[in-house]
Structure 1
Amino acid sequence: MGRLLRGELRKLVTTRLWLWLLLGAVTLTALYASLNIAFTDDPENFAPHLSTPEGQRLHVATAAQPATTFAAVLAAIGITGEFRHRTATTTFLATPRRVKVVVAKLILYAAVGAAYAAACLGTTVALGIPLLASMDIDFDILGPGMPATFAGIVAAGLAFGVLGVALGALLREQVATVVGLLIYRFIAEPIVTEVPALHDWTLYLPGPATSALVGSVLENREFLDAWQGGAMLAGYACVLALAGTLLTTRRDVI
């Protein structure tokens, strides 16, 4: 497994895609955090104020969530690229037990997802401290619930890394997988979760489950408990990873 992991890591770093996606995640995180802080006093804002621990977790720390989507996209490209560029045959000839190949990708991109999340968290902290200080507010990174939020975001990054590999293994088509991920995360899910009549079941979708895991609080929205959100996200990752692994071992490569 160590040899496979090193091989997958070499494949990842031979292009700069991982770097561009990381820069995209960090940039979007910085934008979200800045806008959240700038518009926190909006009278129509249902979120806690920045002077509270809940407000700091929601407006600043959880702005790092774009890392999850970018990690999933990178992971999906990492496995679908094998089929798009016809390198899957060589890969599976070198390692006939396909399960090991998929597991190596799952482990690698889970770690990459966690690293993306950590980088984006560093961005929110680096921005949050001076911006809140300019508003005479102390940003307490060890305040109530903050360490749990940080841990939850890293765990979500890990889970979405697994989800990206799993979806790529299931669909195989790179463009369809990546476009589908982006449409779902940035368009479909946000629209569906804003429909009040659907709130009873949209709680269990990956996005709201992630929000629950990281401790988001909104006056007009209910979320699962943090452990329930984590369990839902882990369930999605495990079920899809298992399905993707099984299909990869049973389907023809080409």
Structure 2
Amino acid sequence: MARLISGEFAKLWSTRLWMWLLLATIGLTALFASLNIAFNDDPATLAPPLATAAGQRLLFGTAAGGAQTLVAVLAAIGITTEYRHRTATTTYLTTPHRTRVIVAKLVTYCLVGAAYAIVCLAVVAVIAWPWLNARGIDVTVTGNGIPATAMGVIAAVTFFALLGVGLGALLREQVGTVVAVLVYLFVAEPIVTRIPALQDWTVYLPGPSASALARITLTDQSFLRPWQGGLVLALYCLGVISAGLWRTTRLDLT
């Protein structure tokens, strides 16, 4: 298994895609955090005041919003590339146990997702500390529930990496998988979750579940408890990965 994981990392480093997506993730995180701080005093904002624990948890929780979508895209590309460039046949001939290959990809992109999340948390901290200190707001990474939020962010991004691998294994088609992930997470889900009449069930969607795991609070939207959000995401991962494994092990590569 160690050899397979090493091979997956070698494939990942062989292109610059991971670097460009990391830079895009950093940019999105910086944008989200900056907008949160800049408009926090606006009466129309949905965020709690940054002087409160809830406001600071939301601020650090923006790291998940910046990372989880692009990590899912990176993970999906990591497996669909095998089918797009016809390298899957060689991969599975080298390692006939296809499940082991998928497990190696899952482990690889879990680690990559955790690394992306940590980088994004650092970006938020670098932006937040001087900006909020200039406003006279004290920020401490050891209080106000921020450590729990940071762990939730890392877990949420890791779950999205697993979802990316599972979707890639299930759908196989690279462009379609990437477009589906981007449209759903950037367009469809944000629209649906803002409809008050649907909020009784939209809390169980992947994005809101990740927000719950990161202990995010909004003034107009309710979330599950953190452990419930984590459980929901775990069930999504279990379902998608199981379907992806079934297709990988039962169907032809052509």
**Alignment partner, residue 55 of structure 1:** 55
**Alignment partner, residue 42 of structure 1:** 42
SS in 2 for 1:49: coil
**Alignment partner, residue 252 of structure 1:** 252
1:89 matched to 2:84? The reply is no
**Alignment partner, residue 219 of structure 1:** 219
**Alignment partner, residue 130 of structure 1:** 130
TM-aligned CA deviation for residue 206 of structure 1: 0.2
> CA–CA distance in 1 between the matches of 2:26 and 2:245?
31
> CA–CA distance in 1 between the matches of 2:162 and 2:138?
36
After TM superposition, list the pairs within 5 Å mapping 1:1-254 onto structure 2. Answer: 1-58=1-58, 60-65=59-64, 66-254=66-254
Amino acid at match of 1:215: R
SS in 1 for 2:209: helix
Structure 1 vs Structure 2: percent identity of aligned residues?
57
Amino acid at match of 2:61: T
> CA–CA distance in 2 between the matches of 1:152 and 1:63?
11
Amino acid at match of 1:211: S
> Deviation digits for residues 147-193 of structure 1, max 9, x if unmatched?
10000000011111100000000000000000110000000000000
> CA–CA distance in 2 between the matches of 1:174 and 1:109?
17
TM-aligned CA deviation for residue 111 of structure 1: 1.0
Runs of 4+ in 1 over 4 A off after TM superposition: none
TM-score (norm 1): 0.98
> CA–CA distance in 1 between the matches of 2:252 and 2:33?
45
> CA–CA distance in 1 between the matches of 2:126 and 2:185?
26
CA RMSD of aligned residues (A): 0.8
> Deviation digits for residues 19-74 of structure 1, max 9, x if unmatched?
1000100110001000100000111123210111110111x201112211111000
> CA–CA distance in 1 between the matches of 2:219 and 2:14?
46
> CA–CA distance in 2 between the matches of 1:61 and 1:11?
32
> CA–CA distance in 1 between the matches of 2:179 and 2:5?
27
Structure 2, unpaired ranges of 5+: none
> CA–CA distance in 2 between the matches of 1:220 and 1:95?
50
